Structure 1
């Protein structure tokens, strides 16, 4: 009863700060565990399913496979410490080298994961292009080169974490945080523009261009059909003489394109809040009230959790939107695991 009286008598600002901090703690305790559980399981299954030949030999499928591996790494390093912080002590808050290492892995893996999906969008644009030379750029080798490039770039981009991030800080949003104003602005702007906004912008542009390519291809086929040269259409498109392997490849390409479009839309929804929050914190005044600071921290925590959902959602998108191709591959994987367990 006395605790209720204390809360009632508490000034509104103090009550609001206490409430926001409590909600953040509860989300770190329970929602983080759910995201981690479903995200890790989903990414592990993704890795096994996408490792099957018809996916791993496809340039877009291979990029999905590597992004699932990177998402798994990102979830481990981003969420385990948040879960620990909700229940006990986060070691990255007090151990300097662990603080620096975790920050570098989290930021670089987020960059790699988002840009891999961006390269998958560009790959689908190449594949859907009317220009045959551009279609030939959709290759597994180019996908592998893109993955190597963005991995090296991301590691170099966030190498500054080993200098900028420090443990045991006071008067900062987190105890493991950028130790100077310049460091914080550099990290926030890198995350906002290079990690989130640039890849999202490229995804949207090439997604629209891919849709335009598909519409152009459909219009060409319709025009040819009205001129009564259906036989030439079939021959030029290669549909009449397709063998089963070519049909499977074409069906896989369509499934991957559908999976990609849905993933781009959901990624945009889930990753934009963090970039907006980081941009706001960069341009806002540092002399803010305790209430504003608590609200900013609450929004930051929610944005982080949304971003982590984006790392854990691909399997569920692929299952729902991947059509019979992905679901059949998933079923084959489950049947193989059952046989191994029985044996």
Structure 2
């Protein structure tokens, strides 16, 4: 069946826009995100922050995002030289890269969920709830989330393959059943559920903040310098988290909704124009989670003085060590 000339021109126009966007926008976001998350990791391991469970969750999320973006850097660079795209040829690399991408993206979002729960618990008036917030518990939860995520996405070893025929993406799922399964798991486990949990605990945290302001605080003389510093760090981390969690919710949920739509209408026949539009929307919505992942460092840097001061101190330490070595 031939395609009308107007429809063909429209399809070529949309495809050209998609190619231009995919060639330049993701690579810029990836490079900026890699530098940002690497810097964030260096900041969150500093002594003033690493004793706080929320900082540990931030560190785990930044490290997951860093691995996620580094893994995607190769395929993005290969868009400019497809002859070097080994992921499209070597099946093992295809499976491994997709496994790392899906696991680390899931981990990054769920670590932020743990951080929002941590902020909610620290502002609770219940002593038992506050006692749940400690470093040992944080490491234990991080390990549990990592094991569950690996178990969920271990199917990539079977479902993904390289050098597939009949589709433009050579490293992709090898059956419709795998495609539907991956779409549902990605939309539910990696996007919708963590995003909604972030929003819920963000709202609960805001309620706790308002209630805590109405509580009569102890005398200033009874508060030690260490407690003041820890309390200040807690409030700063809470502000950082609230901003990031709201952005993650706004940027990730549209992609989940679109994935659900594509899954529901998967077996419905579509015209060439409808398929092109659906693919274009999918790629645009795919950039939104990248954006939320890549700008977190910029939010920390612009909004929080403590983050900037810690980063400056880190830079001075590095410069001093370089001078000593020379």
Kindly tell me the number of residue pairs found equivalent between the two proteins. 319
Which of 308, 319, 322 matches 2:290?
308
> Which one has the largest radius of gyration?
1
Matching of residues 45-124 of structure 1 within 5 Å:
45-89=39-83, 90-124=85-119
Residues 176-202 of structure 1 show CA distances to partners (whole Å, capped at 9, x for unaligned) of 222112111110000001111001111
Please give the secondary structure, in 2, of the residue aligned with 1:288.
Answer: coil
1:328 has 2:309 as partner: yes
Q: TM-score, normalised by structure 2?
A: 0.93
Q: TM-score, normalised by structure 1?
A: 0.88
Q: Which residue in 1 is equivalent to 2:202?
A: 207
Which of 217, 224, 229 matches 2:212?
217
Q: Which residue in 2 is equivalent to 1:234?
A: 218
Contact 1:72 1:311 in 2 (8 A): no
1:291 has 2:276 as partner: no
Contact 1:168 1:176 in 2 (8 A): yes
Contact 1:274 1:303 in 2 (8 A): yes
Q: Structure 1, unaligned stretches of length 5 or more?
A: 1-9, 222-232
**Runs of 4+ residues over 4 Å off in structure 1:** none
1:272 has 2:266 as partner: no
Please give the secondary structure, in 1, of the residue aligned with 2:263.
Answer: helix
In structure 1, what is the Cα distance between the partners aligned to 2:149 and 2:266? 29
Contact 1:13 1:291 in 2 (8 A): yes
In structure 2, what is the Cα distance between the partners aligned to 1:273 and 1:91? 31
In structure 2, what is the Cα distance between the partners aligned to 1:43 and 1:207? 23
Contact 1:126 1:135 in 2 (8 A): yes
Q: Which residue in 2 is equivalent to 1:7?
A: none
In structure 1, what is the Cα distance between the partners aligned to 2:168 and 2:140? 38
Give 1:103 shift. 1.0
Please give the secondary structure, in 2, of the residue aligned with 1:240.
Answer: helix
Deviates more, 1:273-282 or 1:70-79: 273-282
Residues 105-142 of structure 1 show CA distances to partners (whole Å, capped at 9, x for unaligned) of 11111100000000000001110001111111111111
Which of 216, 225, 229 matches 1:244?
225
